[in-house]
Structure 1
Amino acid sequence: MSTHVSTTAPIRPKGLRNNFRWFVIGMCSVSFFINYLDRTVLGVALPFIRQDLHIPDALSGLLLGAFFASYALTQMPVGRLFDRWAVRPLFAGGAVLWGLVTMAISLSTNSVHLLITRFLLGLGESVNYPGAVKVTSKWFPVEERVFATSVWDNGSRFGSALSLPIVTGLIALVGWRGTFVVAGALAVLWAIGFWFLYRDPGHGRGSAAELEYIRAGGARVDDAPSGAPSIPWRQLFRYRTVWAMILGFFCLNYVIYFFITWFPSYLVQARGFDILQLGVFGMIPGLVAVLGSFAGGWTSDYLLRKGWPAGRARKLCLVGGMLGSSVIIFAAFADSAVSALVLLSISYGAVAFAGCNVASLPADVAPDAGQVSSLAGIQNAFANVAGFIGPALTGLLLTISGGSYVVPLVISGCVAIAGALIYAFMIGKIEPLEIKSQTREKALAGAL
């Protein structure tokens, strides 16, 4: 089995020409910004769409969750495709699809149309997570990997936060239908730019010095798209660490997707925000989450450079972030909108602190380079079931309770605590998983 890191610490090259990898990760960050803007538009525009199309709370939850149903279902096959095929056509093609579907949402005249387009949107956006994980594993050494992950992960945070002022402003200017057209067009433009600018390491992008640096630092450069992996991807389910990654990420996503889906409606319905207050104050938790994600990436990589084992560095951020996000419980009982907003900001910032470390795990523990996106797809597929269950359950609870958000917020906090316990006690060593056939061979050799 190949190791991640060279025994000699690589020297980081200086100069723009020798740091093309940061431009690459910047492109991924822009993709996530547009990705989350497009998937968040419905959540922000929903109060206005409901007025026009007369959609009840329970059905609103299904509309918000339909995206995550298709998104979760396609994560494993898409992750597998990234390990077997080239990154560029898959990433760009998916962006074109989700951009066109977003524009098509503007044509909806009833809830059936919305359900269909939201489902198709999940198919297109399914390329983003495994694609970004694959790109990061190719272009970044181990000691820069989590901070690099925080950069593209924060594209989603900016998308979620800025979608409030952007979308509310667009709705005021061109209506909710025109807003979907603008948001979808951004994805198509990004796909064109990515197609012309992106290449894998050693294929016309990046200098020789940068390539040597990332190779020495453990970047998983040498994984030919057609190369056969060391084990079938189905065998990954035999590892407890993989199940811990799945369950822990499910808990993390359950909390995050409250902010992505129901948070704007919460501010309007439970706290009485008007459209101006929603656009200005509603983006505060998302901006705090940006800082939390950068802090989580910096902390994890800093501890690794200081000699901490990867397991301790990653798990400290994972467990601490999930525990911190559980303060969302107290927002349910806050007396004022200000105190609720502060608590929700802390919760979102803390879960983002953990989130960038979650996204680095597939590259950290995959048995070989040909399993990175497959493992990312597995982790993200099951975790995003939370994106369907959470919004749908919240809509149902709102219908039962007459519009109270107390129970949904308490459930989110309890799920966050469960996630912290999973990362603390269930996940094993954070290192390349040892192939079980090799383990048996070593045991037999030792017996002889």
Structure 2
Amino acid sequence: MTALGSKTAATPSATPPRLMTRKRWVIIWLAFIGLSINYLDRSSLSVALPFMGKDFELTATQQGLIFAAFFWAYDFCQLAAGWYVDKVGPRRSFSLAAVWWSAFTMVTAAASSFWSLFAARFLLGVGESPAPSTAAKVVATWFPVRERAFATSIWDSGSRVGAVTALPIVTLIVALTSWHAVFIIIGVAGIIWAAVWWKYYRSPEEHQGANTAEVDYIREGGARGEASDDAGAAKLPWRSLFKYRTVLSMMFGFFCLNSAIYFFITFFPSYLVKERGFDLLKLGFFGAIPGICAVLFGWLGGYLADRAVRAGASVTKVRKTAIAGGLAGGSVIMFAALVPEAWMALALLSVAYSSLTVAATGIWSLPADVAPSSRHVGSIGGLQNFASNLAGIFTPILIGVLVDQTGSFVAPLAVIGAVSLVGAANYLFIMGKIEPLKVKEAWTQQ
């Protein structure tokens, strides 16, 4: 019987029924592929740029400005993107976003100057802005609480997979053809994925492949759907979310996390080439190690978090342990520029990136954990992602300026490590209990 048919009563259970379909896992792995392409698009320039010297003569500061152009658009569109995701739903928001970002990825191949490259990156950022909030909404809609962290770790690992695969894929394409072909090929992949997502994605109740047992399991496990929303909470205005300390803490904490993560998305390849003397072959092979570690430990962290919730641990304890512990572990990035050998730097960067990824899994579980209704999951995801990507604006510029002024990466990595520790303290001591936000009646009438 499909999800559109009549349902029989089911007893809530942490163990999935044997005859239950598993369409939620197909959905989340499809979202993973979408996020992988999303991050492959945005990371491809950072890998290709060191080998575009014959066409572009850019200082480190100019490179930082080009990297930041993406985040200026991506970040300030987050506020509207979260609202848009809640308004139109994941099917439409993800498909249209993928078409947009793929188109401007291909436009990058036609860039011929600083300003044309700047414009292409800016418009790419506009198109990519709905993606993470959409994925968070998908998890909230399709997964019970006891599976939320692992499902989040899957789609969030797409960002790491995209960044990791950018190294061998881009270097191979550059070696065989030219840097122009990189952006054409990746853009076409995004268009194909958008068509598949539009064809396949539906909500659990509307999906022809999800049977009654799976839909009941999802809903009884605490997934967020309009049918279970409190009427008063659903009316909470978007602007009232800023009145909650929990939301403000989420915004600040995610800013701290991304201050470290965006080093890996922007200047990491340049660091290996310029500071550690990596050539094209070494960059494509050894440069992928931190990202591979991050993907594996992100999945492990999500799995262990869900296992702890199923064993009876509170969501607050599980999320704070993963997030604060991950940020603390990420602070070892400050030592990577100090060690004498390249393999030592790679080891430290692998520890840092893996720890930060575990933290990110917990952070992206929070919108579904704290949203007062299903209509606020995307909005809260957009708010925290807006704050986090302010780091995408400032961090590349800061790194570029400090590298130009000091001639090394010691100072910028020290700053990034310190900010990670501040972020850990924020989640431990500022954020309160992790639960759906309580709605005051007066706030719903504004």
What CA distance in whole angstroms lies between the structure 2 residues aligned with 1:89 and 1:22? 20
Alpha-carbon distance in structure 2 between the residues aligned to 1:277 and 1:128: 31
Deviation at 1:311? Answer: 0.3
Q: Any conservation in 2 of the 1:254–1:386 contact (CA below 8 Å)?
A: yes
Note the alpha carbon deviations across 1:177-233, whole angstroms, 9 max, x for none: 1111111111111001111111111113311110000010011133699x9932101
SS at match of 1:435: coil
Closer, same or farther in 2 for the Cα pair 1:316/1:69, shift >3 Å?
A: same
Match of 1:399 in 2: 404
Q: Residue 136 of structure 1 corresponds to which residue in structure 2?
A: 139
Displacement of 1:169: 0.3
1:335, CA displacement in angstroms? Answer: 0.7
Q: 1:434 aligns with which of 433, 438, 441?
A: 438
2:362 to 357, 363, 372: 357
1:379 paired to 2:392: no
Could you tell me the TM-score, scaled by structure 1's length?
0.93
Distance in 1 separating the partners of 2:74 and 2:179: 23
- Assess if the C-alpha contact under 8 Å between 2:236 and 2:443 holds in 1: no
Verify: 1:19 aligned to 2:22, yes or no.
yes
Count the aligned residue pairs. 432
Which residue in 2 is equivalent to 1:443?
Answer: none
Among 263, 281, 290, the alignment partner of 2:268 is 263
CA distance in 2, matches of 1:122, 1:428: 32
Q: Does 1:222 align with 2:265?
A: no
1:126 matches 2:125: no
Q: Secondary structure at the match of 1:271?
A: coil
The correspondence for 2:429, drawn from 407, 413, 425, is 425
The separation in 1 between residues aligned to 2:189 and 2:259, in whole angstroms, is 27
Aligned to 1:54: 57
Q: How far has the Cα of 1:14 moved from its partner?
A: 3.2
The percentage of aligned residue pairs carrying the same residue is 45
Distance 1:7 1:390 in 2: 50
User: Is 1:325 matched up with 2:294?
Assistant: no
Q: Counterpart of 1:240?
A: 245
Contact 1:323 1:417 in 2 (8 A): yes
- Describe the superposition over 1:246-277 as per-residue Cα deviations: whole angstroms up to 9, x where unpaired: 01100111111000110000000000000000
Residue 174 (str. 1) matches residue 177 (str. 2): yes
Which consecutive residues of structure 1, in runs of 5 or more, have no partner in the other structure?
Answer: 1-5, 441-448
Shift of the alpha carbon at 1:10? 4.7
- Please show how residues 7-406 of structure 1 align to structure 2 within 5 Å: 8-14=12-18, 18-205=21-208, 206-222=210-226, 229-402=234-407, 404-406=408-410
Letter in 2 for 1:322: L
Per-residue CA deviations over 1:113-155 (Å, capped at 9, x if unaligned) read: 0110100001111111011011111000000001000011111
Q: Please state whether the residue corresponding to 1:31 is helix, strand or coil.
A: helix
Q: 2-side partners of 1:149 and 1:422: how far apart?
A: 22
Please list every run of 5 or more consecutive structure 2 residues that lacks an aligned counterpart in the other structure.
Answer: 1-9
Measured against aligned partners, the alpha-carbon deviations of 1:284-320 in whole angstroms (never above 9, x if no partner) come to 0000100121122112111111111110011001111
Cα displacement (A) at 1:161 = 1.0
- Aligned-CA RMSD value: 1.8
For residue 313 of structure 2, give the secondary structure of its aligned residue in structure 1: coil
